[in-house]
Each structure stands twice: as structure tokens, then as C-alpha cells.
Amino acid sequence: MKMKNAQFVISVADFNMIHQHDAPEIAIAGKSNVGKSSFINMLTNVKKLAKTSGEPGRTRLLNYFDINNGELMLVDLPGYGYARVPHGEQDKWASLIQGYLSTGPNLINVFMLVDIRHEPSPLDIQLMSYLYHYNIPFTVIATKGDKLSKVQLVKAKQVVANALSLTPSSIYVTSALKKTGVQEVLDRITELMDGAIVSDEAIAEFTREEYEEEIIAKEKSAAVKAEAAAKAAAKAAESKYYPSNTKKKSNKRSNSKSKK
């Protein structure tokens, strides 16, 4: 797809009053500091289309951007996970995001943005679980690829894939600074609009049920490892303060020999 023109349409604060139109929608979701605005500006090649800010958590509404005069609509969702925002405000954002995702009639895909430098957070995994549970098609896009070397990118991509139970090849790596990965994402949009790919579940390693089972298995494995580590530490502490019986016996034998 070629984005010939792009323009801001409207901001919405209530999912019950979502913008009515006929164009297919792609939602842009992710943490507050993941670079959603920069990603939109890079994709549309319009520098100030989406407002960027040095302070995370500035996107607090559903922001609609029209692409090619009604051919496509990008919907920028409020960023999640910004600690300085009051819990009441965060709950309001969560309600807005969930309301849109569950009722948006034109939604064809969610672009879930993650920072390639970090392992996906619990909130990222929670969003992924939500999308799986409600069978909402998605695409994982890793941002800030310019911050890592090529070798580091390969490793980081595998870390993200493992955390989200996806194949590394299903993750798109981009950089708003160097404008890398743009064409791959535009090709992805073309596939989605043509209906060639209905959902990322086709290229994920796991079905929804298997994904949930995998998460549970990882949690159990972590608990088992923690318990084993605690037992090992306790045993080490015990041996430190209480010498073994074998040492006591050997000492008795040496003492008896010395007496003889």
C-alpha cells in the first residue's frame, strides 16, 4: 500500500461514541513510551501528523487518522503502563481501549507495538492474551530497532517472540529514526486489506488455548525453580552452621589414633 495522503480526523473520549465511517481500521496499541506517534508519522511520512511528546502518556483519547481519503483509518489508542498517571485515569483508558476493541465494527487488525530493547511487560502480555481470547487479529511490531546492532536485534527479536509465544519471523522490526521496516509494514497492510491474512494466529506457534497453557506452564516452571533455589539455599546455610556427621566421625578416628 502507498500512503498518498494522511490527515487527522477526530479524537474520541467515549467508545460509545466511536467515529462512524466505512473505511477499514487498523488500531495502534502499545505502552506509553513505545513510540506510537513516531510510528504513525513514519508510516504516513507526515512528520507532525501524530503529536509526539517527551513525556509518555500524552495520548489519552482514540485518535483517528484518515489515509488516502477514506481508503484506510488508523486509530491511535491511549498508551498504557505510565506510572505517573493516576490509577483512576489509567482505568478510564483501559475501559476506552477494551470498549473500542470489543465494539469497533471496522477493525481488521491491531498493530501491537513493543520496544525491541526490552522483554514484553506483563501489560503487553495481558493485551496479547486479551486479543487471543476475543479472537482479534493482530500484528506485533517492534520499535526502536536503531538502538541495537544487527546481532543484538536477532537476539532481542527471539526474546520478544519467546515472551509472546510467536515465531520470530512474524515480528516486524522498525525504526522511526532511520525509517527502516516501513515497506514491510506497508506490505502487511496491503495483505490485510486484500484479505490475504485474516489473523496472525496463522503464523503463531500456538493456538489461543495452547498459548494460555504455555503461559501457565511458564509460571509453574518459574515457581518450581524458585522453590528449588530456596531449598538449595537453606541446605547450604544448614551445612555451613552444622558440620556433617562424616566430619565428626573422621575427627573421632584421628583422635583415637593419636591416643594410641
- Placement of cell 490527515 in the chain: 7
Output the CA torsion sign for 155, 207, 201, 138.
negative
SS3 letters for the chain?
CCCCCEEEEEEECCHHHCCCCCCCEEEEEEECCCCHHHHHHHHHCCCCCCCCCCCCCCCCCEEEEEECCCCEEEEECCCECCCCCCHHHHHHHHHHHHHHHHHCCCEEEEEEEEECCCCCCHHHHHHHHHHHHCCCCEEEEEECHHHCCHHHHHHHHHHHHHHHCECHHHCEECECCCCECHHHHHHHHHHHHHCCCCCHHHCECCCHHHHHHHHHHHHHHHHHHHHHHHHHHHHHHHHHHCCCHHHHHHHHHHHHHHHC
pLDDT-derived band at 180, boundaries 50, 70, 90: very high
Residue 150 in any domain: the answer is yes
Residue 130 in any domain: the answer is yes
Verify that 180 and 248 share a domain, yes or no.
no
Q: Does pTM surpass 0.75?
A: no
Verify that 155 and 227 share a domain, yes or no.
no
* The pLDDT value given to residue 56: 44
Among 160, 175, 205, identify where a domain stops.
Answer: 205
Across residues 154-168, what is the average pLDDT? 95
Verify that 23 and 76 share a domain, yes or no.
yes
> Which has the minimum average pLDDT: 57-71, 134-148, 170-184, 211-225?
211-225
Q: CA–CA distance from 58 to each of 93, 146, 186, 211, 253 (Å)? A: 12, 24, 26, 32, 77
Verify that 180 and 67 share a domain, yes or no.
yes
> Which has the minimum average pLDDT: 110-114, 156-160, 231-235?
231-235
pLDDT one-digit tens code per residue, 182-199: 999 999 999 999 884 444
Across residues 4-22, what is the average pLDDT? 88
Verify that 141 and 36 share a domain, yes or no.
yes
List, in sequence order, every residue forming a beta bridge with 138; answer none if it has no partner: 110
- Residue, of 181 and 58, whose pLDDT is higher: 181
Residue 120 in any domain: the answer is yes
Verify that 247 and 231 share a domain, yes or no.
yes
Residue 174 predicted with pLDDT over 90: yes
**For residue 227, what are the domain limits?**
212-259
pLDDT one-digit tens code per residue, 56-72: 444 578 999 999 999 99
Verify that 93 and 153 share a domain, yes or no.
yes
pLDDT one-digit tens code per residue, 127-137: 898 898 889 99
Verify that 106 and 223 share a domain, yes or no.
no
For residue 142, give the CATH number of its domain. 3.40.50.300
pLDDT one-digit tens code per residue, 90-102: 566 578 888 888 8
* Distance between CA atoms of residues 109 and 123, nearest Å: 19
* The pLDDT value given to residue 211: 57
Verify that 95 and 221 share a domain, yes or no.
no
Verify that 221 and 196 share a domain, yes or no.
no
> Which has the minimum average pLDDT: 72-86, 140-154, 207-221?
207-221
* The pLDDT value given to residue 205: 45
Beta-strand pair 138-143/172-173? parallel
Verify that 138 and 233 share a domain, yes or no.
no
Residue 1 in any domain: the answer is no
Residue 83 in any domain: the answer is yes
* The pLDDT value given to residue 45: 93
Among 185, 205, 225, identify where a domain stops.
Answer: 205
pLDDT-derived band at 26, boundaries 50, 70, 90: very high
Residue 91 in any domain: the answer is yes
Nearest Cα to 82, choosing from 115, 60, 113, 114? 60
* Distance between CA atoms of residues 174 and 180, nearest Å: 5
101: left (phi over 0), alpha (psi -120 to 50) or beta: alpha
Residue 229 in any domain: the answer is yes
- Residue, of 124 and 202, whose pLDDT is higher: 124
Nearest Cα to 136, choosing from 84, 169, 190, 100? 100
Verify that 151 and 201 share a domain, yes or no.
yes
Mean of all residue pLDDT scores within the chain: 80
* The pLDDT value given to residue 25: 96
Residue 14 in any domain: the answer is yes
pLDDT-derived band at 247, boundaries 50, 70, 90: very low
- Domains in the chain: how many in total? 2
Residue 31 predicted with pLDDT over 80: yes
